[in-house]
């Protein structure tokens, strides 16, 4: 039975919007301990933790070139063709995000511009689990390569046999990953933070993971490594009215709910009947799904909400700040232009969330847990940094120099003032 | 006596590039304690810490409207005019960074685009000290306002009289800051992280500070608040050849050195005589400077380096990854196009670093400590987040749907596959 709310008052929105997140502060000491050990002992610590946590005794953590090349014989043609469709679209969309330098003369003789350059060394973490999550490699390695990142390191935990699934290897090879290491969890993040004898240090770490990986990425930032995004459980909010299709919506909510027990799905509607119609469809469709057990648990933190008008629905949605936001309404323009906070938006009855997860071209690494209030999802800029430039001629420094002298003086920075004075004296 | 290196071998570059940074891990427990207290007790904790750390007993931490308005009578006309010059240029440059959505049809019937929206609530921290650092307000509030941020909160420590310098107040008013609070240090960052009865919670915190503020901002990120950049001591690297002017370069190095005892200045040159010429000029100019004491200390961590060719100089500079990078050479094009890592670049003999600190239009909040390898300085995008959109029609889902089904199946996500199947069945 899904929790339903009819016209909830604003005072209740915060509690309705609460995500099923856990406090991770208590994990920090363990993570810090593993970081310290990997920092001081390098590969030997990594191997030891792999033995402890993954129950595999590896002698070599780097995937051999021959194994990598051979992966193409271990995946189906159908799979390769599907990857090609996804790759083409992801490539095209991220390519369109590249901006060119734009030189501006802010004052006569003062030229300023910005240029974006690739982050040279990046790391990608791909978690283990019951199925190989190759799609995240598409989402991270394709834009990294487009941006011009030189070294793309991938870490992923080995299975019980000490191997990595061929679909991971093939996708990594297809997308230009430089090196793959069979290392998972905290030790993988620590290894990419400090570098070991085998695993290179990187400047920025991308990718999802469990709560240990989440805390490890947070701790990595205290060692000067950047990260893509703080992580949280995945979520979908669907806004729908009477023009929507209840069975489609149910299928989308279910696809979100199967991600994990902590996934959250929200239905907001201005059409009251939809609350029950979608629930009925969910119950109908759920029975045939392989991950029904997970869905039954995640559905517990889900909410179906009726609002009497669009304006209230929009306000609620913006304060919820959904990771995935699906709009299935007649007046979709109103909802699109009112968006303040969201990760990725899916418009209309034929735009399921799963399209964005795999192949529409948009990125699926997105801000969860309300983070879309302040974070972008991964895009081409995640792999670049902007450098600013200025070039001032004699005329320019004559014009802006006196203002700089006044301000430097006021801030008590006499040497700053002097660097202007010494030039102006010559002109 | 400045440390000089003649053609240092690559193996030594890492140690030459070492910044005078201190380990901040031991400060963390104190910062965490203050965070916990501000979280649980709000304003009363903030007032208590202000009493403890700033030695001021305040009853009201919010700057009154009347005090704010009156600030315009307490600053000089000359100062107001200087601010206007800076504001115009900063505004113009940051305005030029705004990008428009670009709709791409990744596949027939699959439209994708990105829109940038303002971060609604931001916080600016301005440190105290011997002089009022109003220039950072220009650098943060002007682009925040341009980006469309709705609520701009500013925290700055009160002086011994419990007041804030009029130049800070006037600049804040000029740039559209919403509210100013007389709160400094860790308690200010904690207050903006959690919100108190008086100080609003923000989504992203900007601004410089001492090591306590640096750690506080790092800890804020573990409570879901974004920050502009990890902080470190400021630095300048000048690349110069025989066409440069030793006295100008000395004035620029000195302007960087006066920032703080931990500032670092580096001279790289392919013209050996410059090493002594610039040092002589530094010694000559230093005597008349008010912050000579600070300069004498910071100059200790400075290095003057000769390389026999441009190519080695360029490699060294990219691995150093300077915050401020000044290029004073004949072949400036070569150096500009070779830049991989830098915060802000100053080109030619009439482009002193102080121009970028105040008025050229570029932002002075920049990545220090080698962070330019992975971070941009503050720009318009720091106040925005990108949201991705997709709209797929019947034709589009028919084209990409089968690939999504294959990939979802491979990842064991049957409900994802079903959300495509249920639509394709209807078409």
Distance CA B210, CA A154 (A): 36
Which one of A314, A390, A398 would you mutate to disrupt binding with B, by most B Cβ within 10 Å of its Cβ?
Answer: A390
CA-based nearest distance A108→chain B, Å: 10
Q: Determine, for residues A82 and B407 on separate chains, whether the beta-carbon distance falls below 8 Å.
A: yes
**Structure confidence at residue B192 (pLDDT):** 98
Per-residue pLDDT of chain A (427 residues; tens, 9 = 90+): 899 999 999 999 999 999 887 788 889 999 999 999 999 999 999 999 999 999 999 989 999 999 999 999 999 999 999 999 999 999 999 999 999 999 999 999 999 999 999 999 999 999 987 789 999 999 999 999 999 999 999 999 999 999 999 999 999 999 999 999 999 999 999 999 999 999 999 999 999 998 999 999 999 998 989 999 988 889 999 999 999 999 999 999 999 999 988 899 999 999 999 999 999 999 999 999 999 999 999 998 899 999 999 999 999 999 999 999 999 999 999 999 999 999 999 999 999 999 999 999 999 999 999 999 999 999 999 999 999 999 999 999 999 999 999 999 999 999 999 999 999 999 9
* A273–chain B Cβ distance below 8 A for any pair: no
Q: Determine, for residues B412 and A369 on separate chains, whether the beta-carbon distance falls below 8 Å.
A: no
Distance CA A147, CA A129 (A): 29
Q: Determine, for residues B392 and A247 on separate chains, whether the beta-carbon distance falls below 8 Å.
A: no
Residue with tokens 């799979």: A79
* A255–chain B Cβ distance below 8 A for any pair: yes
- The pLDDT of B16-28, averaged and rounded, is 86
Q: Determine, for residues B291 and A412 on separate chains, whether the beta-carbon distance falls below 8 Å.
A: yes
**Structure confidence at residue A371 (pLDDT):** 95
Q: Residue A364 to residues A76, A151, A357, A416: CA-CA distances in angstroms?
A: 24, 22, 5, 46
**Structure confidence at residue A5 (pLDDT):** 97
pLDDT exceeds 90 at position B322: yes
Distance CA B47, CA B49 (A): 6
Please tell me which of the candidates A204, A348, A392 has its beta carbon nearest to residue B391: A348
Please tell me which of the candidates B85, B89, B388 has its beta carbon nearest to residue A344: B388
CB < 8 Å from A in window 70-99 of B: 78-79, 81-83, 85-86, 88-89, 92-93, 96-97, 99
- Catalytic residue from among B323, B364, B405, B416: B323
pLDDT exceeds 90 at position B248: yes
CA-based nearest distance A36→chain B, Å: 12
Q: Which of A126-130, B160-164, B332-336, B341-345 has the lowest mean pLDDT?
A: A126-130
Please tell me which of the candidates A106, A226, A370 has its beta carbon nearest to residue B89: A106
**C-beta of residue A226 within 8 angstroms of C-beta of residue A375:** no
CB < 8 Å from B in window 146-165 of A: none
pLDDT tens digits, one per residue of B185-227: 999 999 999 999 999 999 999 999 989 999 999 999 989 899 9
Which residues lie closer than 8 Å to A12 by C-beta, 6 or more apart? A5
Q: Determine, for residues A397 and B88 on separate chains, whether the beta-carbon distance falls below 8 Å.
A: no
Q: Determine, for residues B82 and A407 on separate chains, whether the beta-carbon distance falls below 8 Å.
A: yes
Which residues of chain B are within 8 Å of residue A401 when distances are taken between CB atoms? 355
**Structure confidence at residue A402 (pLDDT):** 98
Please, which residues bridge with residue A389 across strands? Answer: A113, B345
Residue B178 buriedness (CB in 10 A; 0-12 / 13-18 / 19+): middle
* Full strand arrangement of the beta sheet holding B226-227: B179-181, B151-155, B121-125, B204-206, B226-227
Comparing alpha-carbon positions, the chain B residue that sits nearest to A87 is B106
Q: Angle B24-B30-B32 (CA atoms, 0-180°, nearest 5)?
A: 95
Residue with tokens 């200790």: B300
Per residue, the 3-state secondary structure of chain A, as one string, reads: CCEEEECCCHHHHHHHCCCCCCCCHHHHHHHHHHHHHHHHHCHHHHHHHHHHHHCCCCCCCECCHHHHHHHHHCCCHHHHHHHHHHHHHHHHHHHCCCCCCCCEEEECCEEEEEEEEECCEEEEECCCCCCCCCHHHHHHHHHHHHHCCCEEEEECCCCCCCCCCHHHHHHHHHCCCCEEECCCHHHHHHHHHHCCCCCCCCCEEECCCCHHHHHHHHHHHHHCCEECCCCCCCEEEEEECCCCCHHHHHHHHHHHHCCCCCCEEEEEECCCHHHHHHHHHHHHHHCCCCCHHHHHHHHHHCEEEECCCHHHHHHHHHHHCCCEEEEECCCHHHHHHCCCCCCEEEECCCCCHHHHHHCCCCCCCCCCCCHHHCCCCCCHHHHEEEEEEEEECHHHHHHHHHHHHHHHHHCCCHHHHHHHHHHHCCC
Residue A51 CB neighbours (<10 A) = 12
Indicate which residues of A carry an active-site annotation.
323-324
**Residue A199 tokens, joined:** 């695993």
**Structure confidence at residue B386 (pLDDT):** 98
Summary mean pLDDT of chain B: 96
pLDDT band at B22 (very low <50, low <70, confident <90, very high): confident
């Amino acid at each position: 039975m899904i929790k339903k709310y009819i016209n909830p008052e604003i005072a209740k929105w915060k509690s309705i919007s609460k995500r099923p997140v856990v406090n991770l502060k208590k994990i920090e000491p363990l993570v810090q301990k593993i970081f310290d050990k990997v920092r001081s002992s390098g590969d030997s610590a990594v191997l030891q933790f792999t033995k402890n946590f993954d129950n595999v005794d590896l002698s070599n953590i780097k995937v051999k070139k021959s194994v990598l090349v051979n992966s193409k014989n271990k995946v189906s043609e159908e799979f390769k063709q599907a990857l090609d469709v996804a790759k083409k679209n992801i490539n095209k969309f991220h390519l369109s995000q590249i901006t060119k330098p734009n030189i501006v003369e802010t004052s006569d003789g003062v030229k300023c511009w910005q240029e974006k350059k690739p982050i040279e060394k990046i790391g990608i973490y791909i978690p283990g689990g019951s199925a190989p999550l190759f799609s995240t490699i598409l989402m991270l390695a394709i834009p990294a390569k487009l941006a011009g990142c030189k070294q793309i390191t991938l870490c992923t935990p080995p299975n019980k046999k000490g191997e990595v699934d061929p679909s991971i290897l093939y996708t990594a090879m297809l997308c230009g990953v430089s090196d793959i290491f069979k290392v998972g969890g905290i030790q993988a993040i620590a290894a990419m933070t400090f570098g070991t004898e085998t695993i290179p240090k990187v400047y920025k770490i991308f990718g999802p993971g469990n709560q240990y990986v989440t805390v490890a990425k947070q701790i990595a930032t205290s060692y000067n490594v950047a990260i893509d995004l703080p992580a949280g459980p995945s979520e979908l909010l669907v806004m729908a009215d009477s023009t929507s299709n209840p069975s489609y919506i149910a299928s989308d909510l279910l696809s979100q709910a199967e991600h994990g027990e902590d996934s959250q799905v929200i239905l907001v509607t201005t059409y009251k009947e939809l609350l029950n119609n979608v629930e009925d469809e969910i119950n109908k469709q759920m029975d045939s799904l392989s991950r029904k057990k997970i869905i039954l648990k995640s559905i517990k933190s889900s909410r179906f909400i009726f609002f009497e008008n669009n304006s209230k629905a929009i306000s609620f949605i913006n304060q919820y700040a959904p990771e995935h936001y699906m709009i299935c309404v007649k007046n979709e323009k109103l909802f699109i232009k009112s968006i303040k906070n969201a990760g990725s938006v899916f418009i209309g009855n034929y735009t399921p969330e799963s399209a964005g997860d795999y192949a529409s071209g948009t990125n699926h690494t997105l801000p969860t847990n309300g983070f879309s209030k302040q974070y972008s999802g991964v895009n081409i800029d995640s792999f670049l940094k902007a450098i600013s430039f200025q070039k001032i001629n004699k005329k320019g420094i004559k014009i802006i120099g006196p203002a700089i002298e006044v301000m430097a003086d006021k801030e008590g920075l006499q040497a700053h003032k002097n660097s202007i004075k010494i030039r102006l004296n010559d002109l």
